Structure formats: C-alpha cells, structure tokens
Amino acid sequence: MGEQKSRVKKAAEEGTKREKAAEKAAEKTANIDERQLEETAQAARLLADWYRRTGRELPWRKDKDAYKIWISEIMLQQTRIEAVKPYYARFMEELPDMASLARVPEERLLKLWEGLGYYSRARNLKKCAVQVMEEYGGSLPADYNALLKLPGIGPYTAGAIASIAYGQAVPAVDGNVLRVLARFLADREDISQPAVRKRAWTLLSAAMPKDCPGEFNEGIMELGETVCLPGGRPLCEKCPLEKLCRGRRQGMEEELPVKAAPKPRRTEERTILILQRETADGCRQTAIRRRPGKGLLAGLFELPSLDGFIGEEGVRRYLAEQGLSPLRIEKAGQARHVFSHVEWDMEGYLIELAAAKEAAGAGTAGEEAGGFLYVDSRQLRDRYALPSGFRAYRKWIL
Ligand code: SF4
C-alpha cells in the first residue's frame, strides 16, 4: 500500500514537472514575434519538402540508425562532408555498433580517428558507448534530454539524433543553421552570442513541422552546406526560400550573418625532434612520446617537441641531458600548424642516434630515457596515432 502511494506521489510530481516545463515552453513561445513564427513555419515546411526531393545520398542517411547518425555528426563537427566519408567508412567497418565501440582499446580508437583532430571527441565516443551499454542496453536513448546527459553529446548532436533517428520535434542548431536563420530573418544580431542561439532554438522548436522534424533539420543543414553558403556567397537563385527570405528581399544576404571576430590565436614556437636509430637487424626506428594528460593534444603521442626555437646547440644540450649522443644532426625544415586557439611555428631537426643494441622484433617497443618510445614505420602506420600537427615531418618517418 505504502509503495503504491509513493508511486502515485512520484507520478503526480512528474506530472507537475511536465506541466511546468510546458508552461515555460509556452511562455518562451509567447515571446516570439507572431509574424516571424508564421514565416519560419512556412519556410520550415518548404525546407522539409525540398530536402525530400533533393537531399544528397550520404552513407549515414541510408537508414535512420541512431548510432550511425551520432558517429557522423561528431565527425562532421569540424570537418567537411567529403573529407569525413573515408573516415566514416573505415570507422563503421571496424566498429559497426555500440558494443564494438564500447570494447575498442583507446589506442586503436585514436588510430581510427587520426587526421580528424579533436581527439577528446573520440575518447568521449567510447565513454558514451560504455555508458549506453550499461544503462540503455546498447541503444542511444530516444529522448532529447536523456541524450544531453551523455558524455560528448551537446544540444546540437542531441537534437540531430532525437529528430532524425527518433522523430522527436527538437531543433539541431549549429553555425550553419544560425547563418541561414540570420539571413532568412534579416537579423543583425551577433550569432556568436549564446542568447541568439537560444532564441533560434526556441523559434525553430515552435516553427518546425512536428510530423517530419528530422527532414526539416536535415533540410536546413543541407541548405547551409550547399546553398546558403558561408563567406558572403549564398546561391539565392537556387534556394527554396528565396521568395520568403527577408535578407534576400532587403538585399542584405551577403552582409549577414553578423559575427564577432574570434580572439586572435596565440603563436607558439616549437622545436621538433625526429630522433632515429637503427636496430641490430637494420630496422629504422623513430622516437615518439606521450604528451601530458592535460592541455593541447592531451595524452596523445607526438614527435618529441620542445618550447621555443632552441637551435642546434640547444638540441645538443637537451640530448646530452637525456644521455643521448647524436651521430648527426640536420635541419628538417619549418612548418606551421593551426589549432583552434593556438598556432604552432615549428622548426624540425633530424637526429641520427647510435644503433640500438637489440633487434627490433614485433611489438618490443618500451619506454626509454626521456619517455621515448622507439617504433618502426609499420608500427607508426598501423598502431600509433600521430596528430596532424606533425604532418609536415611524416616524410622523414614513414
Ligand atoms: S534566399 Fe539566399 S540568403 Fe535567403 S536563405 Fe536562401 S540562400 Fe540564404
């Protein structure tokens, strides 16, 4: 009896919570300009139809599989569709479902992610897969709010999965969508402001068609990627919204969206060491080392790199401190790599060390002085992920 009472009480509380959420949503909707809402709803319907007719065939769109949509959306966060395709195919071949992703060793996962950057996203994929196996029996939950609680899933990804895979009427707002909306509404507010993103979310959740939310979300993303292009060059004559679009009608489409300039990137000078030696059986090995667990490229392998341009003399001093005596040092050229907040200016040195006393043997690499791990080119190709920041020096090591 007592148990039944508490269940009833809990259900009543849940009901009140839902009512409050609905009231809040209604309150927000009430703040939206009626005319804007009407025009956006009309455009949303047109976009869903346009997408049904013209949407591109992409490997992750063949079925409405939540796992595939999730993986593709995470990969697409900083990379263009064409570049993602080969990564996606390779990833799916090896990790076709949640269970295989939850089981994969981290080193292998990072190798599959090599070249996509933002390695914390790959680590979060695995963390999320483990949690989904434990709490949801291996399927991503069919609910926007539950998705939001999972590692690495933010409002955009949760919206994409919930709407495309499960038909839940929630928007998926990213930079593409904000650009389209700013032009469509002729809105001059700065789209990098969280309040503008929030308003876009509220407007779209009220305006989107409730019977085909996935097609609408895919339609607006597709429009942003293929027609309402960034960089002031929208292809309005090909746009299904041309007649409705306020930005186009007012001749402002090329000036929008307004977006505050990002903070200038910090530049760091780095000296890159390509330390090589031969083993007793004539195999060439290169030293790699794990980066610190926090900060840029956390926990990933790198070619040993040092702060500043320290010159050949500095390199010799550093090697002596590590107990290494080089046979030869030559310059391996300069390179630059741009990360999201920092830029590396690099100066490389190719360093030949005395031969190792032992034969290479498969998988015998172990950490040595300086935290260096000496690996051959096959191991570098197949096993260890080297961030693309070191791409310019790959020709010396592969
Ligand atoms: S009409 Fe032009 S500016 Fe407006 S949404 Fe379409 S492509 Fe973008």
**pLDDT for 382 beyond 80:** yes
pLDDT at 183: 97
pLDDT at 7: 45
Q: Could you tell me if 128 and 151 are in contact, meaning their C-beta atoms sit under 8 angstroms apart? A: yes
pLDDT at 359: 55
Question: Of the residues 3, 13, 57, 73, which is catalytic?
Answer: 73
Query: What is the token pair recorded at 284?
Result: 């060439």
pLDDT at 4: 44
Q: Could you tell me if 371 and 307 are in contact, meaning their C-beta atoms sit under 8 angstroms apart? A: no
Query: What's the mean pLDDT when you consider all of the chain?
Result: 89
Handedness of CA 47, 49, 55, 57 (dihedral sign): positive
Instruction: Give the position, in ligand 1's atom list, of the atom nearest the Cα of 256.
Output: 3
**Can you tell me the mean pLDDT for 187-199?**
96
The ranges assigned to domains in the chain are: 32-249, 266-396
pLDDT of 205-231, one tens digit each? 999 999 999 999 999 999 999 999 998
pLDDT of 104-153, one tens digit each? 999 999 999 998 988 999 999 999 999 999 999 999 999 999 999 999 99
Give the model's confidence band at 158: pLDDT under 50 very low, under 70 low, under 90 confident, else very high.
Answer: very high
Give the model's confidence band at 94: pLDDT under 50 very low, under 70 low, under 90 confident, else very high.
Answer: very high
pLDDT at 1: 40
**Can you tell me the mean pLDDT for 386-395?**
91
Give the model's confidence band at 59: pLDDT under 50 very low, under 70 low, under 90 confident, else very high.
Answer: very high
Q: Could you tell me if 127 and 151 are in contact, meaning their C-beta atoms sit under 8 angstroms apart? A: yes
pLDDT at 205: 96
Residue 231 Cα to ligand 1 middle (Å): 13
pLDDT at 22: 46
Q: Could you tell me if 68 and 92 are in contact, meaning their C-beta atoms sit under 8 angstroms apart? A: yes
pLDDT at 369: 65
CATH superfamily of 266-396: Nucleoside Triphosphate Pyrophosphohydrolase (3.90.79.10)
Q: Which fold has domain 32-249?
A: Endonuclease III; domain 1 (1.10.340)
Does the CB atom of residue 224 touch ligand 1 within 6 A? Answer: no
**Can you tell me the mean pLDDT for 30-57?**
92
Higher pLDDT: 397 or 75? It is: 75
pLDDT at 262: 84
Does the CB atom of residue 112 touch ligand 1 within 6 A? Answer: no
- Most confident stretch, 24-33, 78-87, 113-122, 210-219: 210-219
Residue 52 Cα to ligand 1 middle (Å): 19
* Distance between CA atoms of residues 232 and 224, nearest Å: 12
Alpha-carbon dihedral of residues 129, 83, 87, 298, nearest 10 degrees?
-60
Q: Map the chain to HEC letters.
A: CHHHHHHHHHHHHHHHHHHHHHHHHHHHHHCCCHHHHHHHHHHHHHHHHHHHHHCCCCHHHCCCCHHHHHHHHHHCCCCCHHHHHHHHHHHHHHCCCHHHHHHCCHHHHHHHHCCCCCHHHHHHHHHHHHHHHHHHCCCCCCCHHHHHCCCCCCHHHHHHHHHHHCCCCCCCCCHHHHHHHHHHHCCCCECCCHHHHHHHHHHHHHHCCCCCHHHHHHHHHHHHHHCCCCCCCCCHHHCCCCCCCHHHHCCCCCCCCECCCCCCCEEEEEEEEEEEEECCCCCEEEEEEECCCCCCCCCCEECCEEECCCHHHHHHHHHHHCCCCEEEEEEEEEEEEECCCEEEEEEEEEEEECCCCCCCCCCCCCEEHHHEEEEEHHHHHHCCCCCHHHHHHHHHCC
Give φ, ψ of 278 to 5 degrees. Answer: -105, 145
pLDDT at 31: 67
**Can you tell me the mean pLDDT for 174-191?**
96
Residue nearest to atom 2 of ligand 1 (CA): 236
**pLDDT for 282 beyond 50:** yes
73 included as an active-site residue: yes
Give the model's confidence band at 301: pLDDT under 50 very low, under 70 low, under 90 confident, else very high.
Answer: very high
**pLDDT for 245 beyond 80:** yes
**pLDDT for 80 beyond 70:** yes
Residue 248 Cα to ligand 1 middle (Å): 6
Q: Among candidates 142, 121, 138, 144, which has minimal Cα distance to 64?
A: 142
